[in-house]
Amino acid sequence: MATPTAPDVFHEGERYIQERAAERDVALRNEGLVAQSIPIRAIPFLAQQRMIAIGSVDEHGVVSASVFFGMPGLITSADGETVVIDRTRIHRSSDDPAWSNLRVDADVGMLAIELESRRRLRINGVVLRVDDKRIHVNVREAYPNCPKYIQRRRLRDDVPSRHDDPPPRASGVSLDEARSLLIERSDTLFVASRHPTRGVDISHRGGTPGFVRTLDPNRLQLPDYRGNGMFNTLGNFAVDDGAGLVFVDFDRGSLLQMTGTASVHFGETARPRQPTGSTGRYWSFHIARWREFAIPASISWELLDYSPYNPSTPE
């Protein structure tokens, strides 16, 4: 299929943020990356992945971000226009809301990401069919993202590298000390957002540990670094503040999942311990609910290096 024409690529929220950030020209230079199907050269990459982030919305309009792990072939595409999520190849978490959210005609955002190579492919679409083994998704748009801010890790199945036992399942509406500490040491998270007509999107966010700050038990603050100028996530926030976050604790082997709302802040005074890389942009996340659960014990990672693009913090 042909790439969408220029007026259709960005919705009103994305255009607003692009202009507010003075990056409209950057976005227009990159709009050709957005296609209505998965590029043929990316199909083999998709089939090799063992990790996928999912953005979804429940029947009450609550936005959720999820991360699933499994065997190669957990997500595939034969023609670039339809994606198949194979449940039999995923180490599922039975209480993750994504499984009930991915119903027929529901919007879904997907991000296939390979941490070791820093490659990622964004796919947004609509669920076509669901059965006990597979979820079929019609692709609405797909495009690659740059490797910036991804911490390089090697996925391992042989020798566990966790420092502690994984935590038991837990949930709450306000952060406690354990969850606040997890956030403060995190370097990787995924954020889900939505638009009323363009659907759901999920994006990666990364930085050096401490790049996300806990302002109080119900509010987080995150810096917005320079990217491709499209502002898909912040553009969605400008229209609909519903959001979902999921932090990956690679050392302890857990996922911290949150639902809530987000707001964007421009022209903020630079915070030395939380630099933005000169953008002056932050966004805050207001927590409605959180839950933490373990990643399958057979999966572990070896940290290779941090992204050279991460803004540096003072010693």
Q: What is the pLDDT of residues 114-164, one digit of tens each?
A: 999 999 999 999 999 999 999 999 999 999 999 999 999 998 876 555 555
**Angle of helix 12-20 relative to helix 232-239, nearest 10 degrees?**
110
- Looking at the domain assignment, is residue 311 inside a domain? no
Of 155, 133, 45, whose CA–CA distance to 89 is shortest?
A: 133
Tens of pLDDT, residue by residue over 60-77, are 999 999 999 999 999 999
- Looking at the domain assignment, is residue 17 inside a domain? yes
In this prediction, residue 287 has a pLDDT band, given cuts at 50, 70 and 90, of very high
Query: What φ, ψ does residue 24 adopt, rounded to 5°?
Result: -60, -40
* Whole-number pLDDT of residue 223: 97
Whole-prediction pTM: 0.94
Tens of pLDDT, residue by residue over 170-202, are 999 999 999 999 999 999 999 999 999 999 999
Task: Give kind and range of the element (H or E) at residue 8.
Answer: helix 6-9
- Looking at the domain assignment, is residue 291 inside a domain? yes
Domain count, the chain: 1
Which of 1-15, 134-148, 259-273 has the lowest average pLDDT? 1-15
In this structure, are residues 202 and 110 in contact, taking their beta carbons and an 8 Å threshold?
A: yes
Q: Above 60 in pLDDT, residue 1?
A: no
- Looking at the domain assignment, is residue 81 inside a domain? yes
* Whole-number pLDDT of residue 156: 83
Domain coverage including residue 190: 6-305
Rounded to the nearest 5 percent, the helix, strand and coil shares of the chain are 15, 40, 40
Residue 95 DSSP label: T
- Looking at the domain assignment, is residue 193 inside a domain? yes
Q: Above 60 in pLDDT, residue 2?
A: no
Strand partners, 194: 200
* DSSP reduced 3-state for 215: strand
* DSSP reduced 3-state for 107: strand
* Whole-number pLDDT of residue 210: 94
* DSSP reduced 3-state for 22: coil
In this structure, are residues 234 and 203 in contact, taking their beta carbons and an 8 Å threshold?
A: no
- Number of H-type helices and E-type strands within the chain: 7, 17
In this structure, how many other beta carbons lie within 10 angstroms of the beta carbon of residue 182? 20
In this structure, are residues 136 and 82 in contact, taking their beta carbons and an 8 Å threshold?
A: yes
Distance from C-alpha of 11 to C-alpha of 32, rounded to nearest angstrom: 15
Residue 56, domain CATH:
2.30.110.10
Strand partners, 64: 56
Query: What φ, ψ does residue 46 adopt, rounded to 5°?
Result: -60, -45
- Looking at the domain assignment, is residue 313 inside a domain? no
* Whole-number pLDDT of residue 166: 57
